[in-house]
């Protein structure tokens, strides 16, 4: 992928803001050493959560069971639980978490709107509407049946949002992008409601799909989705410097040699690849993509070279923690991850927001 | 976070008295009202449009009535008692409720957008609606409550959430940004509680709850009209009185204080006013989405550069919900749809159209 602008002209440009901004915007962790060490610790925590996700559930397993399932597969119940349930589900949690979180960070950077999550570009509603239409008019029911419908719906909605925002004499502006996304969300959400209120079968499917769940993850589907998400992740990493420059405002970013339209376009493609895949795999999970980049910013400051890795590490930890809690909270039943995540994540988010002396935005 | 540069409006020169503006001051209450000729024109036009939408809505239904007959029925009665009954007793309460709900939601959204400098901030975002929705869903799913109980629960949930948010956000005053972020967190918790209840309920209950959550004006009567009218009567003057402070707040806190604004008081008052509007509208009609976000933006784009008055936004919201409900009642054959479905279908394309033909206006 050709970088929209080259060189280190605006490497860390966002970090070189005015004195006033620096005091109000620096994260809780000051200095590259603290941020790097913090990131390493966070990565260890995420790894521990992923391991716990392999072991904890209705059947509690030992690490030896997990090892044996692959080293010495006998087809026992334990082996099947590991290979068919726990491992795909954990991988899905890591993948969906990273994808949604990083997509949220990119949206916030491109729209310069701290209240934007991946949902704001129409990704969730596009996916939901496509899924509902597939259920209602094509009689698709199995979760994997509407994965690709959802992905295509997410992509189409985002393309339309970008298209509308780019019309008019001033081209794409962050505000127009955010508003076009909100309007598109309202429109598609309305159509979705109209369909499910007319058709009880759809409502019944939709109310469970719409809260988001990792329970339906299957290895085959994950393998199909992985390339899309991987490309999106690479693009997001490649865009961090451009996002830093964008944060300075359009005029300044242009003066630094940034081609705004190209950055916004690539950002949009990145979001569709990441959030579209995640939504297709697990349903429309809200909150994560909005809150985790915020938490990353609160911890590591406004530089996207830190925000993106922090988000990528924290998101799967949050999502998997929520999933584990959902598995054990109401045994033998399960709570969907989307429901638990808000209950687990929101209090932490609220604490972080209150910690910031000035709600730097 | 560098987004203060983003959706925040660039500070503009605010002249004390733009051309074509009169200032009415009431020293005793320290309130002044800017009357601005173009905004006044737009306000009048919006009021006329709302009146036209009201008449149009009253003509529509299974029993079509001529617009002339509607006006006659409203102004003293026609010769036909049947028409009088249909227009005044059956359709009018619902239409007035629609107009009131639309106006309240639009004003709520307007105040919040201006406070937070962010066009995406609406009562749907800051958690008040989520509180109303969680309480109402509990009333439906757990208690199987009557419509009145559901409305009461919704109001209680909205008020409780607003109080909780205020307590969470209060740190030597309340900043708009922090409040919005906390609102998003609180919304997420309450929203997941609502989703949980809906996944646990039987399908009939789930359907009833979904209709309420979409926003509906079915079977609204004079009691609802009275509720929303009282809300507007109390809160609109407050909103107007505080709107001068809004203009000051846009300049940033330090400057606002220097110019004699009482920032903390104004912000608290504006937040409570916005919360009150949305709480009462939600109690009456459910959380009708998108009106609070769209109406201020539509008016703003029609008025281009001028600071948008609160009343034109209210008129726009009233028109949007009135027309949406008229369509929801009649436009879709086979039974009616909740009004909240139609607001998005009707309002969103128009906002998208305005965005697509925008020229260099400030966000």
Taking the C-alpha atoms of residue A123 and residue A106, their distance in angstroms, rounded to an integer, is 13
Q: Which residues of B touch A120 (CB under 8 A)?
A: 120
Q: Is the pLDDT of residue A107 over 80?
A: yes
Q: Per-residue pLDDT averaged across B69-81, rounded?
A: 83
Taking the C-alpha atoms of residue B225 and residue B272, their distance in angstroms, rounded to an integer, is 22
Q: Are A130 and A152 in contact (CB under 8 A)?
A: yes
Q: Is the pLDDT of residue B22 over 60?
A: no
* Token digits of residue B174: 């309340």
Taking the C-alpha atoms of residue B311 and residue B33, their distance in angstroms, rounded to an integer, is 12
Q: Could you give the 3-state DSSP secondary structure of residue B220?
A: coil
Name the band, by pLDDT with cuts 50, 70 and 90, for residue B21. Answer: low
Q: Could you give the 3-state DSSP secondary structure of residue A11?
A: coil
Q: Could you give the 3-state DSSP secondary structure of residue A297?
A: helix
* pLDDT at residue B34, rounded to an integer: 57
Q: Which residues of B touch A14 (CB under 8 A)?
A: 2
* Token digits of residue B149: 């109980």
Q: Is the pLDDT of residue B307 over 60?
A: no
Domain ranges of chain A: 33-360
**In chain A, what percentage of residues exceed pLDDT 90?**
25
CATH superfamily of B38-355: ABC transporter involved in vitamin B12 uptake, BtuC (1.10.3470.10)
Where is pLDDT greater, at A8 or A314? Answer: A314
Q: Which of A26-40, B51-65, B348-362 has the highest mean pLDDT?
A: B51-65
Q: Per-residue pLDDT averaged across B278-285, rounded?
A: 91
Q: Is the pLDDT of residue B98 over 90?
A: yes
What's the residue count for chain A? 361
- pLDDT tens digit string along A245-260? 988 888 888 888 888 8
Q: Is the pLDDT of residue B231 over 70?
A: yes
* pLDDT at residue B260, rounded to an integer: 65
Interface of B with A in 296-325 (CB under 8 A): 297
- pLDDT tens digit string along B49-62? 889 999 999 988 88
B33 beta partners: B24
Q: What are phi and psi of A225, to 5 degrees?
A: -80, -25
CA dihedral sign of residues A290, A296, A302, A308:
negative
Lowest mean pLDDT among A212-226, A261-275, B260-274: B260-274
Q: Which residues of A touch B294 (CB under 8 A)?
A: 183, 186
Which residue of chain B has the CA closest to A182? Answer: B120
- pLDDT tens digit string along A186-201? 899 889 888 888 888 8
- Of B35, B190, B218, nearest to B125 (Cα)? B190
Q: Are B341 and B328 in contact (CB under 8 A)?
A: yes
- pLDDT tens digit string along B114-168? 888 778 788 888 888 899 999 999 999 988 878 888 889 999 999 899 889 888 8
List the end-to-end C-alpha distance of chain B, in Å, as a whole number.
19
Q: Is the pLDDT of residue A38 over 90?
A: no
Q: Is the pLDDT of residue B19 over 80?
A: no
**A359·B352 Cβ contact <8 A:** no
* pLDDT at residue B135, rounded to an integer: 94
* pLDDT at residue B303, rounded to an integer: 72
Taking the C-alpha atoms of residue B19 and residue B35, their distance in angstroms, rounded to an integer, is 11
- pLDDT tens digit string along A124-139? 889 889 988 888 888 7
Taking the C-alpha atoms of residue B323 and residue B53, their distance in angstroms, rounded to an integer, is 6
**In chain B, what percentage of residues exceed pLDDT 70?**
80
Q: Give Cα separations from A119 to A80, A105, A146, A289 (angstroms).
A: 35, 12, 19, 8
The pTM of this model reads 0.80
CATH superfamily of A33-360: ABC transporter involved in vitamin B12 uptake, BtuC (1.10.3470.10)
**A113·B118 Cβ contact <8 A:** yes
Name the band, by pLDDT with cuts 50, 70 and 90, for residue A163. Answer: confident
Which residue of chain B has the CA closest to A287? Answer: B188
């Amino acid at each position: 992928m050709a970088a929209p602008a080259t060189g280190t002209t605006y490497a860390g440009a966002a970090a070189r803001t005015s004195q006033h901004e620096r005091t109000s915007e620096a994260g809780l962790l000051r200095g590259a050493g603290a941020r790097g060490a913090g990131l390493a610790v966070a990565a260890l925590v995420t790894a521990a959560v992923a391991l716990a996700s392999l072991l904890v559930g209705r059947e509690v397993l030992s690490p030896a069971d997990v090892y044996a399932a692959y080293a010495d597969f006998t087809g026992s119940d334990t082996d099947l639980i590991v290979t068919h349930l726990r491992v795909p589900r954990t991988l899905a949690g890591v993948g969906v978490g990273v994808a949604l979180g990083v997509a949220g960070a990119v949206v916030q950077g491109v729209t310069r709107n701290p209240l934007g999550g991946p949902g704001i570009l129409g990704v969730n509603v596009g996916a939901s509407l496509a899924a509902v239409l597939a259920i209602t008019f094509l009689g698709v029911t199995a979760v994997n049946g509407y994965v690709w419908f959802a992905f295509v719906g997410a992509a189409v909605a985002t393309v339309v949002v970008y298209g509308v925002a780019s019309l008019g004499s001033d081209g794409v502006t962050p505000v127009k992008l955010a508003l076009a996304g909100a309007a598109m969300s309202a429109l598609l959400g309305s159509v979705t409601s109209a369909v499910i209120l007319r058709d009880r079968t759809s409502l019944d499917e939709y109310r469970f799909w719409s809260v988001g769940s990792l329970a339906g993850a299957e290895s085959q589907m994950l393998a199909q989705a992985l390339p899309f998400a991987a490309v999106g992740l690479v693009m997001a990493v490649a865009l961090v410097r451009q996002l830093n420059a964008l944060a300075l405002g359009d005029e300044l970013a242009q003066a630094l040699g940034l081609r705004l339209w190209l950055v916004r376009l690539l950002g949009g493609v990145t979001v569709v690849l990441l959030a579209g895949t995640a939504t297709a795999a697990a349903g429309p999970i809200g909150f994560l993509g909005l809150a985790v980049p915020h938490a990353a910013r609160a911890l590591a400051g406004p530089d996207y070279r830190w925000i993106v890795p922090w988000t990528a590490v924290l998101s799967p930890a949050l999502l998997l923690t929520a999933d584990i809690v959902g598995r054990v909270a109401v045994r033998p039943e399960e709570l969907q991850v989307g429901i638990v995540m808000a209950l687990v994540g929101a209090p932490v988010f609220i604490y972080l927001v209150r910690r910031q002396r000035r709600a730097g935005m | 976070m560098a987004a203060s540069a983003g959706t925040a409006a660039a500070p503009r020169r605010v002249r004390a008295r733009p051309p074509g503006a009169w200032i009415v001051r009431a020293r005793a209450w320290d309130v002044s009202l800017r009357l601005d000729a173009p905004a006044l024109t737009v306000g009048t036009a919006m009021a006329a449009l709302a009146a036209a939408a009201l008449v149009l809505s009253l003509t529509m239904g299974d029993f079509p009535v001529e617009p002339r007959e509607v006006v006659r029925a409203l102004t003293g009665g026609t010769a036909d008692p049947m028409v009088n009954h249909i227009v005044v007793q059956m359709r009018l309460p619902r239409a007035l409720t629609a107009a009131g709900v639309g106006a309240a939601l639009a004003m709520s959204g307007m105040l919040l957008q201006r406070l937070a400098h962010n066009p995406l901030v609406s009562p749907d975002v800051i958690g008040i609606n989520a509180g109303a929705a969680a309480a109402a869903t509990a009333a439906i799913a757990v208690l199987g409550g009557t419509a009145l109980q559901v409305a009461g629960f919704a109001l209680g949930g909205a008020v409780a959430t607003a109080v909780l948010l205020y307590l969470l956000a209060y740190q030597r005053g309340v900043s708009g940004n922090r409040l919005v972020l906390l609102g998003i967190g609180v919304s997420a918790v309450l929203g997941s509680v609502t989703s949980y209840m809906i996944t646990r309920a039987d399908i009939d209950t789930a359907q009833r709850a979904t209709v309420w959550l979409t926003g509906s004006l079915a079977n609204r009567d004079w009691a609802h009209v009275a509720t929303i009218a009282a809300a507007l009567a109390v809160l609109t003057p407050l909103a107007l009185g505080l709107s001068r402070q809004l203009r000051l707040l846009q300049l940033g806190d330090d400057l606002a204080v220097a110019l004699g604004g009482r920032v903390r008081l104004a912000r608290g008052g504006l937040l409570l006013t916005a919360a009150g509007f949305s709480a009462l509208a939600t109690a009456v009609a459910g959380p009708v989405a998108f009106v609070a976000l769209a109406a201020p933006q539509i008016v703003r784009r029609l008025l281009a550069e001028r600071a948008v008055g609160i009343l034109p936004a209210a008129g726009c919201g009233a028109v949007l919900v009135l027309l949406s409900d008229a369509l929801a009642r009649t436009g879709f054959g086979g039974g009616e749809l909740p009004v909240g479905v139609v607001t998005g279908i009707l309002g969103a394309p128009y906002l998208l159209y305005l965005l697509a033909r925008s020229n260099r206006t400030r966000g």
